[in-house]
Structure 1
């Protein structure tokens, strides 16, 4: 029996409480909040279209799209909670402990995990700053949140009730939005860690005294231990491939709506900045900068995770190809060939030819900035 897995990414699991078992009353309250917020944003969209102007859309577009994005993410989080729980449960069942590899390899792996944790912590700090600075006690909301104008127009002197409810309930959507993101991040980080453990375990298995290598062909005990190690790696690799497939299938379900809303959010942020940069107060500049930084940070993290799936599934193949198979007996060579065959195809998150990787982030930025420039020129032409 293997020792307990010492999770280097446990802090993110604890912060975001990646546990989807809830009481019925909790689920009911979540659904009620989603319905209320959805109705509120339907009202905001109705007001935007009935009072449509380029300035109105440019000024209030980023926050409106961001909240719609959060509502969609929260809905997906609740709708797919059984599948998400299944992924995390399966992950807990298959994890290898870190001591499966040598101490020097463990130190390198732990150092890499610490660097990843520090980068994610910095991103979380930016996200928290962006959330906090958007609350009313940091300045007037009228020039950034269209809901202030809408509530005053439709509710009159009672507008303070929906106004305070809107901001009081928003942490629920913030939390579920980032919980969904970090569930994906956590699962991919753990899968990547396990692939690295397989790679380290294989490299450790390959090590043999140079003077004794050819003698290993006649050493039945060595060949038996080698075959046992290879079979253990194959079993774990198959389990990880299943885990990655579960992650990919869940991600593809929400990819179309998140790509659409994410692109619209980038376009609206660029358009807001280009058109209004000279007329913004300091608090508005701070809000849009932090919002843009958090969006870019989350996008980079998600695209990096998508790239990680490609990289870690290909690294095993490279490690297997470098195996000293000429010192192995025929049975172990057959096991190696079977292992290599299972690693010839890299896993990736792809939808309609769009792959979640580094190139996607660059494409989103390029397309969003291009559309923002088009909107800027249209507004400039209409003004002149």
Structure 2
């Protein structure tokens, strides 16, 4: 009988999957915050449109786009809250515990989990640093946030009210933005871990004594136990493939919008640095650096997780093709062929030919930098 699954990623679940929305009043307040914050950004966009200039667009593009980004992700997170929590509940029901494999394999997986936790913690640290250094106690914000100028112009002496509201509510939206990101990360990490458990379980199942190999062919008990193990593994593998499909279905719903906004955010950050590097204050350099580092680290984490789905499903296929099937009876060989057929196509998060993997990250940086150079030349020509 299986023991309880000891979740190695429980910390991220506790931080990013706390359900605060248990009461109607809480949901109402959340919707009100989204509406007010959205109206503020509509005002910021209106100001930029009516006072349009290349310099204004370059200087305040990153923070304005990031504000739009976190609003979109928060709305998406609220709209799909039931689907997200339902997917995590399904994962809880199907997880294998670590004692399904041997001690040596357990230690290897635990090392992998520790490494993944360290990488995720590093990303969270960068995100927290970005939020902290953006606050006024670390220096003037006028060169980075257009909202101060807009509030002063439209609200007069009352400008401090929307100003404090804006910066007090930003952590709420940042949390919801990263909550969605890390819910995806958590689900992929857990699914990847279960695929690793299948791989190690298969490797241990395929092991046999070198001198007794051909004797196993006539050993009825061994063949029955092998068939039982293969069917058991296929059932778990099918459940994980359904989980991956559920992750893909939720992800592709927001993928077009998030890719577009992320692409524009990268362009604006590159453009900001290229055009204003010589005139930036030290605090502004720090802010744009940590902002860029935060965007890059989150993108790398998401693309890395998408790549892991591809790699781990391919690893299962490689493990199956290395099975010692010539020592098995006909029924077990048929089961193996069915298993291999289920693994011939690697799972991936793909939409309209765009796959969430390492290549996407490289393409995103390359194209964004190219457009940033176009904007740099445009500003240069407008000044000459």
Q: TM-score range by the shorter chain?
A: over 0.9
Residues in 2 aligned to 1:218 and 1:26: alpha-carbon distance in whole angstroms: 66
Contact 1:76 1:254 in 2 (8 A): yes
Report the counterpart of residue 53 of structure 2 in structure 1.
53
2:367 paired with 1:367: yes
SS in 1 for 2:277: helix
Contact 2:17 2:183 in 1 (8 A): no
Matches within 5 A, 1:144-163: 144-163=144-163
Runs (4+) off by over 3 Å: 18-21
Contact 2:303 2:358 in 1 (8 A): yes
Report the counterpart of residue 348 of structure 1 in structure 2.
348
Q: Offset of 1:18 from its aligned partner? A: 4.8
TM-score, normalised on structure 1?
A: 0.99
Unpaired runs of 5+ in structure 2? none
What CA deviation, in whole Å up to 9, does each residue of 1:158-192 have, x standing for no partner?
Answer: 00000000001111101000000000000000000
Tell me whether 72-81 or 309-318 shows the greater mean CA deviation: 309-318
Residues in 2 aligned to 1:310 and 1:112: alpha-carbon distance in whole angstroms: 17
C-alpha RMSD of matched pairs (Å): 0.9
What CA deviation, in whole Å up to 9, does each residue of 1:273-326 have, x standing for no partner?
Answer: 000000000000000000000000000000001111111111111110000001
Report the counterpart of residue 44 of structure 2 in structure 1.
44
Residues in 2 aligned to 1:138 and 1:206: alpha-carbon distance in whole angstroms: 60
Contact 1:325 1:333 in 2 (8 A): yes
What CA deviation, in whole Å up to 9, does each residue of 1:21-71 have, x standing for no partner?
Answer: 632221111111111111000000000000000111100000000111000
SS in 2 for 1:218: coil
Matches within 5 A, 1:11-160: 11-19=11-19, 22-160=22-160
Matches within 5 A, 1:189-338: 189-338=189-338
Contact 2:101 2:204 in 1 (8 A): yes
Residues in 2 aligned to 1:147 and 1:233: alpha-carbon distance in whole angstroms: 56
Contact 1:18 1:183 in 2 (8 A): no
Residues in 2 aligned to 1:302 and 1:181: alpha-carbon distance in whole angstroms: 8
Contact 1:20 1:84 in 2 (8 A): no
Q: Offset of 1:86 from its aligned partner? A: 1.0
Residues in 1 aligned to 2:183 and 2:115: alpha-carbon distance in whole angstroms: 19
Residues in 2 aligned to 1:47 and 1:267: alpha-carbon distance in whole angstroms: 21
Q: Offset of 1:78 from its aligned partner? A: 0.3
Contact 2:21 2:27 in 1 (8 A): no
Residues in 2 aligned to 1:278 and 1:307: alpha-carbon distance in whole angstroms: 38
Residues in 1 aligned to 2:243 and 2:24: alpha-carbon distance in whole angstroms: 28
Unpaired runs of 5+ in structure 1? none
Report the counterpart of residue 378 of structure 1 in structure 2.
378
SS in 1 for 2:154: helix
Residues in 2 aligned to 1:81 and 1:315: alpha-carbon distance in whole angstroms: 32
Residues in 2 aligned to 1:19 and 1:235: alpha-carbon distance in whole angstroms: 31
Contact 2:123 2:297 in 1 (8 A): yes
TM-score, normalised on structure 2?
A: 0.99
Residues in 2 aligned to 1:20 and 1:300: alpha-carbon distance in whole angstroms: 28
